[in-house]
A and B are shown apart, each in its own frame.
Chain A
């Protein structure tokens, strides 16, 4: 079943369209930066953006900071919202279930396909932005990478390229976990409604509300528990030494969301009448 879900994922043109759009955003930003050479002032604008002008090898990190807050969660919510509700509306859900595919198996396969999509999309963004960065900004001598001052607050700290790769790997893992939180919200809604659009919309509503509350001081009491609170904590991977506190908390919160919502999705799906 997992293989079937992956085949469905990679045989759908929309998978590549979404990945292409995700890659296009950092590329567009890079073109503007490279032609004008106007960096955002340190501390404002996307993280890493002022640093990439001097070192194109950091551009993948900047690209992550660009797609993470909105673009990536939207695409994950759309795909996860479609996961069960979309099958219901094409009439294929009932045929899968009587094939028979166990309901638990189906949910697990859907989740694995979603994780695969997130990895695929991130890999596409990393590769294209790395190439873009090198082509448009050039690289420093490859023996050492200087971490940008606006992130580390200590200018001039250097790490090895291998260190950079490790930190990027940590970033990818953290982002996958964050996106799993989004996916579990949308997947849960997808088992409730037959409208894929409704499920995606519901998940986005949760995320937008969370984003607004994160910035609201009056909501400080619940802030640590909001799903989007620690989304940008992966930037701490680029501090020296790595600042683990927020990363750990963020991953913990996402795992709790994942477990609770997947449990709810499972419980709902197992007992639901499939009338589509």
Chain B
């Protein structure tokens, strides 16, 4: 769906995006993680033809961007750096304007289209209040409704849950999951680890403009070849395992061993009691920590 090659954007002397090779496949739930200022938004803007790349190529739905971006954009629903709306108009009036502004869709179906989109994002009951009076969460939902108007096969969402409360975040996640099951490819960027971890199947990590990691979430979180063992008799367990224990934290041991089941059988056979046993997995946080160097909004003294 989306692929970029050596995509680079320079603003003066700062390099916002540096040689990114992004690969989003059809049906993916792709999460682009990275701290604020790591180049996520610039990358998203380049994908949508808002910002022009200094170097590199973008291909979306098989067409080069920005050269043929107008053919690609009707198939994309997007949210870029927060929602935008005319503050003096109602939410419905805003959607009408944005719907009428571009191609596609009969004028006759407009009210139905807008009604459906508002219902999906949980704003079916909005009245004639102007957007000025909306909360940040309501504006965010309105922005999502605008992105959903055309039922696009590809959604590019920059920080989609910004300003929502935990229940709202969950609702949006469920909505996006439902869309994804219906065949929509979802590409979202966020600086919130749990959000990506809960929703995405594929993860990219940005660090100071570079795409430091890009892989399946399952692969990133694959077992490390070590097993965590909880036991009330750690000393006996250490004696039994003889040198294979790599770490000890109170009653929790980290053991180098390929298979938790075999290890469990071995320990029980030796008469060691076990309270818990599970394979060790890297947390996404650990992955990000390993991939990123420093917080990009940190300004060190020279």
Contact = CB atoms under 8 A, between A and B. Distances in A.
B84 A98 contact: no
B89 A90 contact: no
Nearest to A102: B70
B102 A90 contact: no
Contacts of B86: 8, 90, 92
A176 B36 CA distance: 48
Interface in A78-103: 90-102
Given A4-B100, A92-B84, A274-B45, A97 B50 contact: yes
B50 A94 contact: yes
B85 A96 contact: no
Nearest to B76: A98
B220 to A, nearest CB: 31
Nearest to B89: A11
B101 A90 contact: no
B163 interface: no
Contact of A7 (B80, B85, B97): B97
Nearest to A93: B84
A101 B102 contact: yes
A93 B85 CA distance: 10
A131 B80 CA distance: 51
Given A4-B100, A4-B101, A99-B101, A12 B49 contact: no
Given A11-B89, A90-B86, A91-B83, A271 B52 contact: yes
B98 A273 contact: no
A245 B35 CA distance: 65
Nearest to A97: B50
Interface of B: 45, 48-52, 69-70, 73-74, 76, 78, 80-89, 93, 97-98, 100-103, 146
Given A90-B85, A274-B51, 20 more contacts: A4-B97, A13-B88, A90-B84, A92-B84, A92-B85, A93-B84, A94-B45, A94-B48, A94-B50, A94-B84, A96-B101, A97-B48, A98-B48, A98-B50, A98-B78, A99-B101, A100-B73, A100-B74, A100-B102, A102-B70
Closest 10 interchain pairs by CB?
A91-B84, A99-B102, A100-B73, A274-B50, A273-B51, A92-B84, A4-B101, A98-B48, A95-B84, A4-B100
